[in-house]
Structure 1
Amino acid sequence: MSPRRLALGTALVLGAALVVVLWLRIPWEATPTVTDPTAGLTADQVSRADAFAGALRPASLANTALSLLVAGVLGLTRAGSRLVTAAARPLGGGWAWQVLLGTVALSVVARLVTLPLAGYGEVVRHRYGLSTRSWALWARDVAVDTAITAALTALGLLLLVWLARRAPRTWWAWAGAGAAGLVVVGSFLYPVVIEPAFNSFTSLPEGQLRTDLLELAQESGDPVQDVLVADASRRTTALNAYVSGFGSSRRVVVYDTLLQLPDAEIESIAAHELGHVATDDVLTGTLVGALGAGAGVALLGWVLGSTPLLRRAGADAPGDPRVVPLVLFAIAVGTLVSTPVQNGVSRQLEARADQHALDLTDDPDAFADVMRRLAVANLNQPDPPAAWQWFFGSHPTTAQRVAAAAEWDR
């Protein structure tokens, strides 16, 4: 069997394993019947959310399309390979410098092209009171995000090209194993390395709320020793909480904007996050991500085995540093195609965590109230268009979550 066919076969096997994991680990439950698409929000609140979505969504779609277009132009023509070569020329033009500096240059170009749309999005968020960031802080966040993304991508591609040069026939297998391993390592490191680059975290102060939340965690049976508060109000008025990491790095984090809510509603949100811990959702996500990364790299091995495609991109082989723009384009396509699948899985996990919160707190009214409050504060449409929800919705709609609380109560 040729290396290219072997890569495709491996991608299919790993893809099948991914389907099995999704089938066994994800609670594929039917969504509750929505009888009130407004979820109990007032007409003014629904109208404001609709106006916000109408102002922001075209820019979001344009950003996605423009990003893919730029990646395609750079990856499927010799423009990208020329940029990679030129970026490394001042340092001698070695293959490693071409990969590292070429990746950084391509990342910066992609960010600069879409920067006006990102700026417009920030203007809209300011206009509706959702963003509290100064423009200096916004610029700093964009720069930090670009630097971290470019650096990590450059290091990953350096390893990939090195493997392709050392093992031309089996590089994709070694790279796939490495990508899967990095997903696992990233789950440990993200909470302690990446998150602090954007927010500061402190333990929830001593008091009745802290005591109640820790008791809630104990009742849930979740190994959480602390609840952290993120200084999100520096950037937004949105309400949010999340759980990240696992093992010693696992933490439940609430935005400081949540602390203005009634204790019962905060406890409902915390119970939801504890639901993710109780059912090992981070571990599930890590396992799914590792299998997906392995399958994706194997599929990349099949793609880069196409000589005509390599020639179109201006590269001679997978070990040629000029292949970097083509790899970035393949990643962009893969990310876009996998988005509705990832969000579909996410919605199911979020719905299960909602049920955990209802079971743990035994307070459907507080749960429904905080879901409405989240929708108003975050300017979420209670019942967005079905196509948008299918592709971009990472959580059940507000109308579905309120309906789930009513169904649980019955």
Structure 2
Amino acid sequence: MTSRQWAAASLVVLVVAAAAVALLRVPLTAPPAPRADQLDALATLPADAVAKGREFRGALRPPMYLSMALGLVVALLLGLTPAGAWIVEQAGRPFNGHWLGRALLGGLAVVFVGEVVALPIAAWRQSILRRYGLSTQDWGAWTVDVLKGYAVGAVIGAIVLVGFFTITHFAPRWWWAWGAAGAAALTVLLTFVFPVLVEPIFNKFTPMPEGEQRTRLMAMAERDGVPVRDVLIADASRRTRAVNAYVSGFGPTRRIVVYDTLLKEAPPAEVESVVAHELGHAKDNDVFTGTLLGALGAAAAVCALYLLGSWPGLLRLARVDSIAEPRAVALLLAIAAVAGLFAGPLQSFVSRRVEARADQHALELTGDPAGFEAMQSRLSLVNLGDPDPNPVEQFLFGSHPTAVERMAAARAYARGER
């Protein structure tokens, strides 16, 4: 078999493996949430708060869609014209056009162009958050966070660029195999290091102090049979008034993180409901599942790039000889942008199913559907959410069930529907 045939066979195996993992690890159905209960739950929410949430989400919609469209247009303009290759060439000149200099500086320069173009839209979004009172940051603090994001992205980008083009340079025929393995390994590595190295750059995390609430939360985790390293409090209030909690890492880095805003806004029973939801993610190993799917997807993407890279039409448009050369960075990013556009709805569907399962787990663990419904109401109102959004947008972008779906699921659970 030729290298291309091996790459095609590997792509098929990786896609089948990812599909198998998804079928085995991701629920295909959600807990019952009758529409009648959804409408009744919606009627219980304060009408003025619902209107404000919808107004807020409506204000965010133009910058969101403009950012998506502009990002795609910039990626295509740089990747499907000689512009991207020209930027790489110019950035590599200080190193006399050495392939590593072009790969690193050229690749980061292409990415930076996209970031600069998107910056005014990000500022527009921040101004909306400030206007509606959801952001607690002044412009100086926001700028610092943006710069931190650029720095983290540059480090990760440099690792990816140097690693990828080193492989393509020294293994021009079989780079897809080494690249696929490297992409999968990097995905797993980031899952371990992100909670301990990256998250502290943006937030300060402190252990929840000893007391009744911590004791109850740790006892609930023990009762659930979920080994948790710690329950941490994030100083989210330095950035937002939104309430949230999440689980990150797995194995020795697994921890449950609770926003300080949640502890301030919600009574202990509702905090327990949120933590029970996060314990559901840990018990079902959702981080492991996401990491495994991400690793398989990253490896498959490298194989697909290798196969797609032999398409003469694309290479002609980008004015490059091979997709494996540094001058093709912009073309790679353009392909990734288009692929991401189509993969987004599938990722949203998987996320909604996983979140719905964690909701069911919270209901079973706490046995408190009323507290769960109250928490979902609070999340929607404090976070200025639309509790019953447009179904098309929910299908395309919704990472969680809607607020009224979650409230209706609690009511169905209370009636014994499973």
Q: Return the TM-score normalized by structure 2.
A: 0.95
Name the counterpart of 2:119: 115
Equivalent-residue separation in structure 2 for 1:60 and 1:318 (angstroms): 31
Q: How does 1:147-162 map to 2 (within 5 A)?
A: 147-162=151-166
Corresponding letter in the other structure for 2:160 = G
> Partner letter of residue 10 of structure 2?
T
CA distance in 2 between partners of 1:286 and 1:350 (Å): 16
For 1:39 and 1:83, locate their aligned partners in 2 and report how far apart those are by CA, in whole Å: 55
Aligned runs of 1:48-197 on 2, under 5 Å?
Answer: 48-197=52-201
Structure-2 separation of matches of 1:208 and 1:16: 48
1:331 aligns with 2:336: yes
For 1:55 and 1:129, the matched residues in 2 are separated by 13
Given that residues 162 and 319 in structure 1 are in contact (C-alpha distance below 8 angstroms), is that contact kept between their aligned partners in structure 2? no
Partner of 1:20: 20
The letter for the 2-side match of 1:283 is: F
Distance in 1, matches of 2:166 and 2:189, equals 21
Out of 340, 345, 368, which is 2:350 matched to? Answer: 345
Using the aligned pairs only, state the percent identity: 48
Q: 1:34 — aligned with what?
A: 35
Partner of 1:297: 302
Letter in 2 for 1:372: S
Name the amino acid aligned to 2:325: D
CA distance in 2, matches of 1:218, 1:183: 29
Q: Which residue of 1 aligns with 2:241?
A: 237
Taking the aligned partners of 1:108 and 1:140, their CA distance within structure 2 comes to 17
Aligned partner of 2:318 in structure 1 is 313
Instruction: Provide the aligned C-alpha RMSD in A.
Output: 1.3
- 2:286 corresponds to 1:281: yes
Whichever residue aligns with residue 135 of structure 1, its letter is W
CA deviation after TM superposition for structure 1 residue 155, in Å: 2.0
3-state SS, counterpart of residue 232 of structure 2: strand
Count of matched residue positions in the alignment of Structure 1 and Structure 2: 410
Q: Does 1:213 align with 2:220?
A: no
Spell out, residue by residue over 1:253-308, the C-alpha distance to the aligned partner (whole angstroms, 9 max, x if none). Answer: 00000112100000000000001011111111111111111111111111112233
Give the drift of 1:2: 4.6
Q: Which amino acid aligns with 1:378?
A: N
* Structure 1 residue 178 displacement after superposition: 0.8
How far, CA to CA, are the matches of 2:77 and 2:372 in structure 1? 48
User: Does the aligned pair in 1 maintain the 2:273–2:366 contact within 8 Å?
Assistant: yes
What's the secondary structure of 1:169's corresponding residue?
coil
| Mapped contact 1:172–1:297 kept (Cα < 8 A) | yes
Aligned to 2:380: 375
The residue matched to 1:184 in structure 2 has which SS?
helix
Structure 1 runs of 4+ with >4 Å offset: none
Using the TM superposition, name which of 5-14 and 304-313 deviates more. 5-14
The alignment status of 1:405 with 2:406, answered yes or no, reads no
Residues 243 and 250 in structure 1, CA contact (< 8 A), matched pair in contact too: yes
> Which is worse superposed, 226-235 or 132-141?
132-141
SS of the aligned residue for 1:229 comes to: strand
- Separation in 2, partners of 1:162, 1:39: 59
Aligned mates of 2:347, 2:324 — CA distance in 1: 31
Q: Which runs of 5+ in 1 are unaligned?
A: none
Q: Is the 8 A contact 1:4 1:305 kept in 2?
A: no
Alignment CA distance shift 1:141-1:337 (3 Å): same
Shift of 1:359: 0.7
**Alignment partner of 2:44: what SS?**
coil
SS at match of 1:319: coil
Query: Could you tell me how far 1:5 is from its partner in structure 2?
Result: 4.5
CA distance in structure 2 between the aligned counterparts of 1:308 and 1:5, rounded to whole angstroms: 21
Q: Is the 8 A contact 1:39 1:398 kept in 2?
A: no
Query: After alignment, is 165-174 or 81-90 more displaced?
Result: 165-174
Deviation at 1:90, TM superposition (A): 2.1
Q: Distance in 1 between matches of 2:67 and 2:148?
A: 19
Pair 1:6–1:306, CA change in 2 (3 A): farther
Q: Distance in 2 between matches of 1:147 and 1:303?
A: 31
